[in-house]
Structure 1
Amino acid sequence: MTAETMPYPATDYQEANRGQYHFSTRGGWMNDPNGLLHYRGTYHLYYQHAPNSLVWDTMHWGHATSTDLVRWEQQPIALNPEQHVGELWSGGGVVDVRNTSGLKDGDHDPILVFTGTQGVRTFYSLDGGFTFTAYDEGRVIAQPSGRESRDPKVVWHPPTERWVMVVWSDNDGNGLDFFVSADLLSWERTSRITAGWAFECPDFTLMPLDGDLTDLHWVLRDGRGSYLVGDFDGREFHTDWTEPQTITRNPGPAASDYYAAQSFDNLPDGRVVTVAWQGKNSGSVWTGNLSLAVEQRLVSTPEGPRLASEPVDELRTLRHSSSTWQPGRLTPEEACALLAGEAAETYELAATIDLGATEAGSITFRLRVVADGTSGRDVTYDVAAVTLDGHSLPTAPNGVLTVRLLVDRGQLEIFAQDGLFYECLNVDFDSGSGGDGIELVADGPVVLTDLAVHRLGSIWT
């Protein structure tokens, strides 16, 4: 590859704070994931990218590929402003397996990506998603309402056998415009939702409730991970929700710990998998990283349907060694000594705690502990407040608490209660504690059902 197609410095991906199983671009700035899709056994990740800058700059679409949603290989830039017309800001992508666009010319199905501000443009690929051509010289194919608009997301609507596009715009405040199309190239604007919460980077997914394929609902989200559950008739979205929920316990603005999550198109087996931008991580040659790929389910709860998020099962393939402990009742002293011999830099900690038999008022996992007793980060469950890491937690079924902590060099992701609790964080472990110890601290007897530490290898080797 020439310098023009791969303008990145040499790296072994071992710079301080560089996540070892969280994707970051080989060099330069990255933000929102774009155009995520699966095609013939390969996952394509495009992303907002300034290849020659460590801060936000003229946007390109960076590109990486994977065969397992875990290990990613950097590819040449997919959309370049010197070759592709318009502002190449965030957007979506689809595989046109039905050739509704009529663009197919050869063995590959057309892959179309959608981008642009103040008007949507599309670019298509006939080589499996590696190079793209502007459709009709880059003319605007869909015009949202308002003065400002961006971030088109396109999905297939099975009942009407039409494509649907959702775009953020500022017409009478934050809101989302809906368009429909039979061919991905000619679009009709059909409706709009005006909502103060709905800012940037919409995502729109059809999901079964509790896995029941006869009970399907549409989930509409924005850049912060706020979402509504409702129905879509092919032209308008309807919901009886009055307020959105949030996917993570720590929603934030752009460049925060979790933003602009997008789902993959054309996944096998009907899975819904998303990744988000984590904007608080940087190093000597790169800025920003992506969250873990998480699989999402729509599940029933006493409060109504909710999204549950858990790491994709493929993450298990990074485990190279594990330590496990038998169930038992531990005094505070025994709990503190339990993990004394453990040391790990990048790992998964999974614990199940019998709250009914536990007498402790708080249970804390101390991460990246150093010799002087300080730690890089603590994660505490407060029994009386029913909070984990300071955030409310769904009621534990049968009095059992399940927790998974995913620790990387600059990232921490917390999952609990089968994914109904999800917190996605950038944590500067490298230049913070610098240690690799782990501690379990309880202020009273605690009963463990099981505990495991799985050391995770690097995706870069």
Structure 2
Amino acid sequence: MTDYLEPNRGQFHFSPRRGWMNDPNGLLYYRGTYHLFFQHAPDSLVWDTMHWGHATSPDLVHWEQQPIALDPKVHPGDLWSGGGVVDVHNTSGLKDGEHDPILVFSGTQGVRMFCSLDGGRTFTAYDEGRVLAQPSGRESRDPKVVWHEPSDAWVMTVWSDNDGNGVDFFVSKDLRQWERTGRYVAAWFFECPDVTLMRLDDTEYWVLRDARGSYVVGDFDGREFRTDWTEPRTITVNPGGAGSDYYAAQSFDNLPDRRVVTLAWQGQNRGSVWTGNASFPIEQRLVATADGPRIRSTPVDEIESLRTAAIAVEPQVLAGGSTMVVAGAATSYELEATFDLAGTPAGTFAFRLRTGPDGGAVREVRYDVTAAQLDGVPLEPAADGTLTVRLLVDRGQLAVFAAGGAYYACYNVDFDTATGDAVELTTTEPLNLQSLTLHHLASIWPTDGR
């Protein structure tokens, strides 16, 4: 039994029943089920000997933890971060039965492959754990594999320290024999590479990102990655290192409709028997901007299945210096509001989260109209003067989206230290509120605590 209601345990963010969690691994979709594997030390509250934990979901939001997938007592090598694929065309030749092979990759200083022929329930080491791909450099880790349709081949990216930080590229026709074909070197690029095909209108781009969420957009010809970007952009406005609020995001393999959905590790949250949680799944797309293609991030639409009671606020102009109580009590919820700032040239407004009788709030999300900044980050309203802000607030997590996903911030926040549960909107100047809706969100956890 697990107490899923203990303080700071997110009610719509996945966290392990017990033990330590860090990077999401081997994210994939197979026959109606989403699989989340993750770095796991089941008997420790700090980083320790790594296993691959496992959770499944029918809809990307309701997760059920499964037995450990990779165990160092059974599976060889360092079971650190890695990726997974569904070999739907049996290019590996490993299919034996009704299920397509599910193959996951892990290992430091050499990549090993593990195979499941029962839909991802159990895994065995391929060829007794032989190293299939040897990256350059003294240190290497975090293999991620994707399908490259134009060359009819698989592509693997692995971080290594050869000649500085960078990514080795490997290609394979059968997932068993790999050829190293190229390397992308950048001082900023550290750990957990993820290369993703993304479309913008009729053009295909390849997006290469690292553990901090830094990314560049370029082209991959099946052997080498090229980009004319000299500096990366970041997925979130608050990038950090390992153990921060957002790290080691990975994209899902084999998704229907070729969606790009990612999960990250949030390392600043813990309870009495667990440490770490996954971010809420985010759908990402490329959009055209004056500076070139850029990623936009929004919560997956499946969040709608968690919505319960809603609070809708009528359009109105709030008086300067006023405070509106949006909800007297809300702990796990989604809030979306649109403001018309065309007639508001100055001042600030803010959502105050988990306010108590003493007037204090655990966190504020503040927009400075004068400086055109959201929580200190430059963000202009739309051309028509409107600004839409969307919040996902859980008991230990906060995600902030704005301007159609141009702004994405992901945080761990100890909301359960609050003395109250109210949600307030304050403004220093008259503020034209066009719409505001707060959806209470149901818990994803089973009521019997399993």
TM-score normalised by L of structure 1: 0.95
Aligned match for 1:28, one of 19, 29, 48: 19
Q: CA deviation at 1:343?
A: 1.6
The aligned residue for residue 219 of structure 1 is 207
User: Are residues 1:309 and 2:300 paired?
Assistant: no
Deviations 1:125-173 (A, max 9, x none): 0000110010000000000000000000000001001000000000011
Aligned match for 1:265, one of 253, 258, 261: 253
C-alpha contact (below 8 Å) 1:36/1:45 kept by paired residues:
yes
Q: CA deviation at 1:360?
A: 4.8
Deviations 1:183-240 (A, max 9, x none): 001000000011111100011100011xx2x211000000000000000000011111
Aligned match for 1:434, one of 415, 419, 424: 419
The aligned residue for residue 365 of structure 1 is 351
The aligned residue for residue 281 of structure 2 is 293
Q: CA deviation at 1:329?
A: 1.3
Q: How big is the alpha-carbon RMSD for the aligned residues of Structure 1 and Structure 2?
A: 1.0
The aligned residue for residue 101 of structure 2 is 110
Distance, in Å, in 2 between the alignment partners of 1:231 and 1:438 is 45
Q: CA deviation at 1:342?
A: 2.8
The aligned residue for residue 396 of structure 2 is 410
Aligned residue identity for 1:292: F
Distance, in Å, in 1 between the alignment partners of 2:343 and 2:289 is 25
Distance, in Å, in 1 between the alignment partners of 2:208 and 2:324 is 46
Distance, in Å, in 2 between the alignment partners of 1:233 and 1:435 is 55
C-alpha contact (below 8 Å) 2:158/2:193 kept by paired residues:
yes
The aligned residue for residue 230 of structure 2 is 242
SS in 1 for 2:334: strand
Gaps of at least 5 residues in structure 1 are: 1-9
Q: CA deviation at 1:361?
A: 1.1
Paired residues, what number?
A: 446
C-alpha contact (below 8 Å) 2:318/2:427 kept by paired residues:
no
C-alpha contact (below 8 Å) 1:59/1:87 kept by paired residues:
yes
Q: CA deviation at 1:283?
A: 0.3
Q: 1:394 to 1:44 in 2, by over 3 A?
A: farther
User: Are residues 1:400 and 2:391 paired?
Assistant: no
User: Are residues 1:350 and 2:336 paired?
Assistant: yes
* % identical equivalent positions: 68
Q: CA deviation at 1:358?
A: 2.7
C-alpha contact (below 8 Å) 2:245/2:267 kept by paired residues:
yes
Distance, in Å, in 2 between the alignment partners of 1:337 and 1:422 is 25
Aligned match for 1:253, one of 220, 224, 241: 241
C-alpha contact (below 8 Å) 1:166/1:177 kept by paired residues:
yes
C-alpha contact (below 8 Å) 1:318/1:458 kept by paired residues:
yes
Task: Indicate the larger mover: 11-20 or 215-224.
Answer: 11-20
Gaps of at least 5 residues in structure 2 are: none
Structure 1 residue ranges, 4+ long, deviating more than 2 angstroms after superposition: 357-360, 394-397
User: Are residues 1:321 and 2:312 paired?
Assistant: no
User: Are residues 1:231 and 2:222 paired?
Assistant: no
Distance, in Å, in 2 between the alignment partners of 1:320 and 1:246 is 33
The aligned residue for residue 4 of structure 1 is none
TM-score normalised by L of structure 2: 0.98
Deviations 1:302-353 (A, max 9, x none): 22111100000001111110011121211135x51352x5321111111000
